[in-house]
Chains A and B, each alone.
Chain A
Amino acid sequence: MKAFLLATLRMSVPYLLAASAGVVSERSGVINFALEGFMLVAAFVTALVALATDNLWLGALAGVLGGALYALGYYGLAARFRANQVLLGIAFNMAAIGITRFALKLSYDSASNSPRVAAEATLWPLVVLALAAVAWLVSRSRFAVRLTAAGDHPPALLAQGLSPTRVRATALMLGGALCGLAGATLVTSQHQFTDSMTAGRGYIAVAAVVFGGWRLVPVLLVCVLFAAAEVLDFELQAANVFAPQIAQMLPYVVCLLALGLRRTTHRAPLALGE
């Protein structure tokens, strides 16, 4: 049981961080389909800097910054050109795959993985801190009020002499930084970058944001639930109770059930994607 819970916690870390990034950015009124891309770019930057400096902490810091910058680029295009945010998200995810693969080849002459990072870093205290900070930011801070205004009714901000664009840019950078931390944890636990190592976690996080109704706590619960179902999938496969295909369906079925059983009193931010 202890092993199960620990495995669930480890598996849920990238989901928790990416999904909270999704909550922060979407609450500001910007559709964020690019969580996967933010994470992947940050993971590569983490490995690159960690290998160059032989320090995984510096790598993680660079990854967080890299994620924030990539996210800022995303919002820059969304705001400046008013590009369709769903399309833009897909483009940023694809570009992240291409950019990291290209950089991997350039830096380490491999299409598969970077060399091994020998250095160690324990990021989980940072993860706990980041999640606590987000929880405070989206509920009790002055920023929370502005975030909701930017997401639901931007003119209210303008009336206060505040810029919705600035609030959204801040929210996106914060989201990018959270995804950056998620990418950094992937590299820290693997001690290397491997091609497309985010493996769809960003998309699961996007789904969790919608399932959880854009509220942080339910969203995080969905993430933990999904991770638990993934770990349960190994256990069931090992126990050989039924066909592995059924076990592999489990995470998705659990989420669909959770969604179906939830009373839908919450809605998307009103100005989402405008």
Chain B
Amino acid sequence: MSAAAKSAAVLLVLFAITLVWRMPSSNEGAQAEFSVGLVFDVGGLGDKSFNDSAYLGLMRAKKELQIGTTTIEPGDGSDRAAALRMLAASGAGMVIGVGFIFTDDVLQVAGDYPKVAFVCLDMAVRDGQALPANVLGLKFKEEQGSFLAGVFAALVSQTKHVGFVGGMDIPLIHKFSAGYRAGVMAQCADCRVDVLFAGATPHAFKDPGKGREMALSQYQSGADIIFHAAGSTGLGVFQAAREQKRLAIGVDADQTSEAPEVVATSMVKRIDTAVFDAIARAKSRAFKGGVVSLGLKEDGLELARNATNAKFFTEERVAVLDAYRRKIVDGAIEVPSHD
């Protein structure tokens, strides 16, 4: 290969990399004394889900707490640890990694910057696991919210047959499926729950084509409502629901706007509140490291209610859902977190 060809190839690869990794966008407040850096998960800002929710919390903190903010959107396969390091080195008081994918990176970088507070959302650590004093691992008890989604599905289903479509087959997604199944069974012991996972690679969260096929197979075998925890694979579930005129339950954020005619509710993780609370505590110098799990008790999870889906939340159903919610908060019901 000639030198020209080599440099052309190198240039192309560099071009591709710059397209995938965009530059940090700084929103530094004018006289902000406390500044927070946030690194997005693979989906990036505008994912209508996890990242947007974290960003919402950050923006609320910026407005209400007068903090400075910097965000970075790394692309697929780019160096997350470097992004965290860059923010920590640039004087941020707190650095947030959005998503379990940051677990190892946060632990690694936090050791080098003991004075900076690090937060990892959905951190892949065990409850009660010891973390460095400057690391806060925020987790959600997805099984509890999914339990309510299961009760809801059992209440709404007319065929007594409901479905679940998961993305990548990992313990995190099994928290959703296990909680959901338990919820369905609690409300309707003779109901049938079909559980499918899209695959064993990260593609499983980004394959609406496969999501549609999985949902079609469940709907065609008699399921009339499907809960998905599958990223944009779940958009395929919504498409199948439209075609079959059945229902679906969204996840992470209120997904009603994606498919108003089929999304009966969504199991929302209040990532925005979690981010805001963590920043507020750090700003008032009350930051504490460790693993914190947010459940129904802490209002970390909820079923989305809005004008469009109000017809599914009849008084009777709301009473049933509230009763289960109270039992979980009181500890009367222990929701399983794995099948």
Contacts and interface: CB of A to CB of B under 8 A. Distances in A.
Interface of A: 3, 7, 10-11, 14, 77, 81-84, 87-88, 90-92, 94-95, 97-99, 101-102, 105, 109-113, 116, 186, 189-192, 194-197, 199-201, 230-231, 234-235, 237-238, 244-245, 248-249
Given A77-B12, A197-B206, A234-B217, A113 B5 contact: no
Given A91-B13, A112-B232, A199 B206 contact: yes
28 contacts: A7-B216, A11-B213, A81-B9, A82-B2, A83-B12, A87-B9, A88-B9, A91-B12, A91-B13, A91-B15, A92-B16, A98-B16, A98-B75, A110-B46, A111-B43, A112-B43, A112-B49, A113-B258, A186-B209, A189-B212, A194-B206, A196-B76, A237-B195, A237-B196, A238-B196, A238-B221, A248-B169, A248-B197
Nearest to B218: A238
A238 B194 contact: yes
B241 to A, nearest CB: 12
A186 B232 CA distance: 14
Chain B CB within 10 A, most for which of A77, A92, A237: A237
Contacts of A91: 9, 12-13, 15-16
Contacts of B208: 190, 192, 194, 197
Interface of B: 1-2, 4-5, 8-9, 12-13, 15-20, 43-49, 51, 73, 75-76, 169, 194-197, 199-201, 203, 206-210, 212-214, 216-218, 220-221, 232, 235-236, 239, 258-259
Closest 7 CB pairs of A and B: A98-B19, A111-B46, A94-B16, A199-B207, A111-B44, A81-B8, A91-B12
A95 B15 contact: yes
Contacts of A190: 208-209, 212, 235-236, 239
A84 B213 contact: no
A140 to B, nearest CB: 33
A238 B193 CA distance: 10
A189 B239 contact: yes
A158 to B, nearest CB: 21
A112 B206 CA distance: 9
B235 A111 contact: no
Nearest to A238: B194
Contacts of B2: 81-82
B134 to A, nearest CB: 30
A64 B259 CA distance: 28
A88 B200 CA distance: 28
Contact of B19 (A14, A81, A99, A194): A99
A234 B214 contact: yes
Given A98-B19, A102-B19, 18 more contacts: A10-B213, A87-B12, A91-B13, A94-B17, A110-B46, A112-B232, A113-B48, A189-B209, A190-B239, A192-B235, A194-B235, A201-B209, A235-B217, A237-B197, A238-B196, A244-B197, A245-B200, A248-B199
A111 B52 CA distance: 10
B5 A83 contact: yes
A94 B17 CA distance: 7
A102 B209 CA distance: 22
Contact of B217 (A189, A238, A245): A238
Contacts of B207: 197, 199
A82 B220 CA distance: 52
Contacts of A113: 48, 232, 235, 258
A186 B1 CA distance: 37
Contact of A110 (B48, B169, B203): B48
A109 B200 CA distance: 30
B217 A196 contact: no
A45 to B, nearest CB: 17
A245 B169 contact: yes
Contacts of A87: 9, 12-13
A132 B57 CA distance: 54
Contacts of A244: 169, 197
Contacts of B9: 81, 83-84, 87-88, 91
A231 B209 CA distance: 12
A229 to B, nearest CB: 12
Contacts of B206: 194-197, 199
B12 A82 contact: no
A38 B124 CA distance: 36
Contacts of A3: 217, 220
A254 to B, nearest CB: 15
Contacts of A195: 43, 206, 232
Contacts of A105: 46
Given A199-B207, A234-B214, A244-B197, A112 B239 contact: no
A248 B200 CA distance: 7
A84 B48 contact: no
B12 A101 contact: no
Nearest to B197: A244
A113 B231 CA distance: 11
Nearest to B165: A234
Chain A CB within 10 A, most for which of B18, B208, B239: B208
B198 to A, nearest CB: 9
Contacts of B258: 113
A36 to B, nearest CB: 11
Nearest to A185: B209
